[in-house]
Structure 1
Amino acid sequence: MAVIALLALVLDVLIGWPDAVYRRVGHPVTWAGRLIAALDRTLNKGRARRAKGALTVVVVLLAAMIPAVLIQAWLGPWVAAVLAWPLVAARSLDQHLRAVAVPLAAGDLAAARGATAMIVGRDVTRADTPALSRASLESLAENFSDGVIAPLFWAAVGGLPGIAAYKAINTMDSMIGHRTPRHEAFGMIAARLDDVANLIPARLSAGLIAIASGRRARAALRVTLRDASAHRSPNAGWPEGAMAGALDCRLSGPRVYADRVADEPWLNAAAPDPDAADLRRGIALIRRATVVAALLLAAVALL
């Protein structure tokens, strides 16, 4: 199964998901999104919303896993690896963060704010360079875990069905796993399942970031072990804490959303705010961590 994960990563890094293909057929995540949205519209009303949310989870998982199981059984691991390829997001993560880093380094805050708004949910319309750098580095660390390491982990564990199930869970969490009046009951099972699915990958991601940070590895681990549990998420604090320690900057902290101000605790609070140079260093760090992940997958595949 590690071969499937490794080949999917290599294809993603080399090719990504081409725009021409996306325009013609979309993307597996958008296909799952349409199913989730339809079930949300149909079932998320009236009584027993938690039970209806659980039914949604079952339907979406079956829709993702049954074709994956059949394809892997009938067509083998090479075809499974090709079909797992669009479910890894290393290349797109790098592209989205460079879209912030380039204008930020040039002092073009308007362009940097626009690019940052594409990758975070908070309000960045008046964010300065430190706030944009923090938001982008947090997104980089969290999405390294959710978009790269978690899919690879579940592909290594379960092949194409494993990665398909994980992406279905992660997509459900992003669409219905919110603590809002509409989704708090309906999306509860999806949100809890996403927490469980990311439990191991988040900690692996922190370790990979620490390894890739070289001489800062001990600091990255120290900040992670000290501060990760203070994060609002049971998982995101691990890669974000490792990033904060590796770059010697503070992350998280208060942020503004459309309807509220969230007074989140700091990660690595005594360190200075990050700047544009730290964002570029963070992007390079995640590239190195991705290489380390590839080497580990290759070692497992050889064994």
Structure 2
Amino acid sequence: MGFAGAMAVAMTVDALVGWPGALFARIGHPVTWIGRLISLLDHSWNRSADAPPIRRIAGVGAALLAIGLCVAIGWIVQAVLSPRWGGVVLLAVLAWPLVALRSLYDHVAAVVQPLQSGDIDAARLAVAQIVGRDPATLDEAGIARAAIESLAENASDGVVAPVFWGALFGLPGIVGYKAINTLDSMIGHRSERHLYFGWAAARIDDIANFIPARLTGFLFVLVSPHFSEALSCMVRDANRHRSINAGWPEAAMAGALGVRLSGPRSYHGSVTNEAWLNEGARDPLSADVRQGLTLYIRAMLLLGGLLVALAIA
């Protein structure tokens, strides 16, 4: 059955049950455990008194230590598992919490419900859980755009990328990727504190997501009823995005839905003038967010089917 089959099982388990709240309250979540390690390294090694080159070197060391430790733990656990069916199933159970398939769907669906009913304030609160932009500045189109962009980008970061690396290398692959992605989300941004210390985390995350982001874009294209529009938009506009990776699934989704995404947005009172994806198309509405969720489900089913096919082969 192999690693690909284990990832397919992990996706299925997560789609059915997610990560139960009671379990989270009792033991937390593996990503929060990784986050504690990163926070400890950040507070210990990222000293404002140090010169920028020293902070960059410290950041490289912190990233390599966090990733290496997670990969080593994954390798040790995997090494003691039986290669037979029981070991593969156990591997799938261990990989399950590292696949955010159900969580992503639930968070985006939580935006759709108040948006459809016209409760803009509740929709803003819901979308603020998944994006960093200022929710108070968002109208219906802005909320829908933010939700769709988050769905597209996190389909890659939260599902396709961990499953991709898990299918290649098993538990060390998926745990190592989650360490990389958590590093980027915590210290990989260009704030004053993390501009130098988080440099390595951001670069490693770009590399780790290079193939998965493009694979996610093609999955959206393949399941879209508007195949040619989705493909042409992805190929034309993906590189207009500020991220070398996020533009691929977002542009594919924009073309598939026939809406424009990205564009200017406000962060902490400061407006950034991002390029439009699928410029000239209409603004998205609540119905487009729901249609985006349908495309997401289809894409994840296709991904699961590909993993099963690989496992059988």
Is 1:146 equivalent to 2:153 in the alignment?
Answer: no
CA distance in 2, matches of 1:20, 1:255: 36
The SS at the match of 2:136 is: coil
Once the 2 structures are TM-superposed, how far is the Cα of residue 218 of structure 1 from its aligned partner? 1.2
The SS at the match of 1:246 is: helix
CA distance in 2, matches of 1:300, 1:62: 28
Is 1:55 equivalent to 2:57 in the alignment?
Answer: no
> 1:71: which partner in 2?
77
Q: How does 1:64-213 map to 2 (within 5 A)?
A: 64-75=70-81, 76-213=87-224
> 2:294: which partner in 1?
284
Q: How does 1:291-302 map to 2 (within 5 A)?
A: 291-302=301-312
Asked whether the 8 Å contact 2:137–2:266 carries over to 1, the reply is: no
> 1:245: which partner in 2?
255
Asked whether the 8 Å contact 1:64–1:168 carries over to 2, the reply is: yes
Letter in 2 for 1:213: S
Asked whether the 8 Å contact 1:247–1:282 carries over to 2, the reply is: yes
Range moving further from structure 2, 77-86 or 225-234: 77-86
Is 1:36 equivalent to 2:46 in the alignment?
Answer: no
Letter in 2 for 1:136: A
CA distance in 2, matches of 1:183, 1:259: 20
Asked whether the 8 Å contact 2:114–2:123 carries over to 1, the reply is: yes
CA distance in 1, matches of 2:282, 2:68: 47
Aligned residues: CA RMSD = 0.8
Letter in 2 for 1:295: G
> 2:84: which partner in 1?
none
Once the 2 structures are TM-superposed, how far is the Cα of residue 39 of structure 1 from its aligned partner? 0.4
Asked whether the 8 Å contact 2:156–2:216 carries over to 1, the reply is: yes
CA distance in 2, matches of 1:177, 1:77: 34
Letter in 2 for 1:61: I
The SS at the match of 1:198 is: helix
Asked whether the 8 Å contact 1:60–1:168 carries over to 2, the reply is: yes
Letter in 2 for 1:43: W
CA distance in 1, matches of 2:127, 2:271: 18
CA distance in 1, matches of 2:239, 2:130: 24
CA distance in 1, matches of 2:168, 2:229: 30
* TM-score calculated relative to the size of structure 1: 0.98
Letter in 2 for 1:280: R
Once the 2 structures are TM-superposed, how far is the Cα of residue 63 of structure 1 from its aligned partner? 2.1
Once the 2 structures are TM-superposed, how far is the Cα of residue 90 of structure 1 from its aligned partner? 0.7
CA distance in 2, matches of 1:189, 1:126: 33
CA distance in 1, matches of 2:139, 2:269: 20
Letter in 2 for 1:3: G
The SS at the match of 1:125 is: helix
Asked whether the 8 Å contact 1:4–1:160 carries over to 2, the reply is: no
Asked whether the 8 Å contact 1:50–1:187 carries over to 2, the reply is: yes
Letter in 2 for 1:223: C
CA distance in 2, matches of 1:190, 1:150: 16
Once the 2 structures are TM-superposed, how far is the Cα of residue 265 of structure 1 from its aligned partner? 0.3
> 2:270: which partner in 1?
260
Letter in 2 for 1:128: D
Is 1:2 equivalent to 2:4 in the alignment?
Answer: yes
Once the 2 structures are TM-superposed, how far is the Cα of residue 184 of structure 1 from its aligned partner? 1.0
Letter in 1 for 2:183: M
CA distance in 1, matches of 2:28, 2:68: 20
Structure 2 gaps, min length 5: 82-86
> 1:27: which partner in 2?
29
Once the 2 structures are TM-superposed, how far is the Cα of residue 78 of structure 1 from its aligned partner? 2.3
CA distance in 2, matches of 1:187, 1:288: 35
CA distance in 1, matches of 2:126, 2:171: 32
CA distance in 2, matches of 1:61, 1:137: 30
Structure 1 residues 241-300: Cα deviation after superposition (integer angstroms, max 9, x where no partner): 000000000000000110410100000001000001111100111011110100011111
Asked whether the 8 Å contact 2:134–2:269 carries over to 1, the reply is: no
